[in-house]
Structure 1
């Protein structure tokens, strides 16, 4: 079946997110591990986690895709910001073990005019500092649109990060359809070619999740402006090919479209109707 969900609020805890996902007819979801703009994380309630795990097992939930805060920049120019990023990720990964075996997605960061190579070195250094052999969580590098000094604007930059990490078996990639389109990958007219390039450079076995978003902008715009499904420049037909592609069909798809509860429910229903059994 199509494994699909949306971003939900962690404010009420895991069980509440699970119930909301079910109300949306979803079988996975994403959530920010703490305020997306940074700050202290909400305390984890063991009884809440236990209730959620029972709910998820009963309803066959796919893997969850947690998201690091946007303010976490592992390759910031200021050391104090890199320390914040390292401490935040380390804490988040410990918290993720309460719900073992899921995904933790993050934006690789912005090198802030230090240069791409320096940015890649700093990101890899953080990953080498926080990844541990016993963790069950897979950390996902997200494909980026390439605005400003973002690192991860192409598959080669993500590959370069992976190559510098010792425990690279703990790493994967989350492909964001809006981001790769805005980065210049034509997933409308040559999605097979884009995936073939991903496989050649990174390896499709590293592709673990998809952020399914339309884009307000043209291919190669480097702007990162999400649109509702079928209302942007990528379009419904192309996004339907994404969810039905043989290499991706079993992955969790997460909607990050500008929507409310009813909007997400409508998009999930639409995409389920387009999934070919």
Structure 2
């Protein structure tokens, strides 16, 4: 079964978001835990969360993905910026327990000229402070395009973070096709080779979700500009190989393409037609 969905707004509640996914023929989804450009989060409504879980279970959803705000930078040289990231993510993980057994994705951060190694150490230290042995959520490091001083543009950088985390079983990776391509990995002509490298360095058992995006820019551009499926440099054929790859096809695929809901519905329908089951 193809588990495919898109990024949806939780502003009208979790139940409404799940119902929106069903209208799009989606069986997974992604949402921001709070304002993506700020820190405010809505109060938890337990009944709303329970309704979401009920709909997801009834309709055989895969794990869904919560996304941390873009404003967080756990690798920052500024003490208060790092503390803010820790506070928000710790609160998010507490809130995620109302939707147990799902995924929480975040960008590893930007080292801002202090060096990759220092930034990696800061991010790992934060994770060691906020992860709890009894949490049901898996926290995902996202593969990054390498824009500016972003950490996570190589599998090796993600591995360095993972190796420093004490609760290894609570960690995983989200593989963004646009980011990986923009970082220089040739998923168009050598998907098998890229996944073999990922497996050798990190391990495919640590891969929990895919952000399925085309790219507005050529490979190695380090730009991070998503494009609609089939409209960019990655293209339809390569995207089809991604969703049908035996090492990936069981994972939740999340569209973050520049679309409205109607556009997401069309992409989901099209991708289902490309899936070989």
Q: Same fold (TM over 0.5)?
A: yes
Distance in 2 of aligned mates of 1:54 and 1:216: 38
2:175 is matched with 175
Separation (CA, whole Å) in 1 of partners of 2:73 and 2:112: 10
2:108 aligns with 108
Counterpart in the other structure of 1:146: 146
2:121 equivalent in structure 1: 121
Alignment of 1:15-30 (within 5 A): 15-30=15-30
- Residue 58 of structure 1, CA deviation: 1.0
After TM superposition, the structure 1 stretch with the greater mean CA deviation from structure 2, 163-172 or 47-56, is 47-56
Question: What SS does structure 1 have at the residue aligned with 2:11?
Answer: helix
**Is 1:218 aligned to 2:218, yes or no?**
yes
What secondary structure does 1:12 align onto? coil
Distance 2:36 2:272 in 1: 29
**Paired residue secondary structure (2:182):** helix
Shift of 1:89: 0.4
Written as runs of structure 1 = structure 2, the 5 A alignment for 1:32-71 is 32-71=32-71
CA RMSD of aligned residues (A): 0.5
Q: Tell me the distance in 1 between the aligned counterparts of 2:37 and 2:258.
A: 18
Match of 2:254 in 1: 254
With normalisation by structure 2, the TM-score equals 0.99
Deviation, 1:53, is 1.3
Structure-1 residue corresponding to 2:243: 243
Q: Distance in 1 between matches of 2:50 and 2:7?
A: 21
User: Aligned partners of 1:38, 1:93: CA distance in 2, in Å?
Assistant: 17
How far the C-alpha of 1:79 sits from its partner, in A, is 0.6
Give the corresponding residue for 2:90.
Answer: 90
Unaligned runs of 5+ in 2: none
How far apart are residue 264 of structure 1 and its match? 0.0
The answer (yes or no) to whether the contact 2:31–2:66 under 8 Å persists in 1 is yes
- Show the counterpart of 1:161: 161
CA contact (8 A) 2:216 2:232 kept: yes
Determine helix, strand or coil for the equivalent of 1:10: coil
Partner Cα separation in structure 1 for residue 124 and residue 189 of structure 2: 33
Paired positions, count: 277
Could you tell me the TM-score, scaled by structure 1's length? 0.99
**1:132 matched residue in structure 2:** 132
Deviation at 1:110, TM superposition (A): 0.2
For residues 18 and 145 of structure 1, the distance between their equivalents in structure 2, rounded to whole angstroms, comes to 30
Report the Cα offset of residue 274 of structure 1: 0.3
Q: Which residue of 2 aligns with 1:7?
A: 7
Moved >2 Å (runs of 4+): none
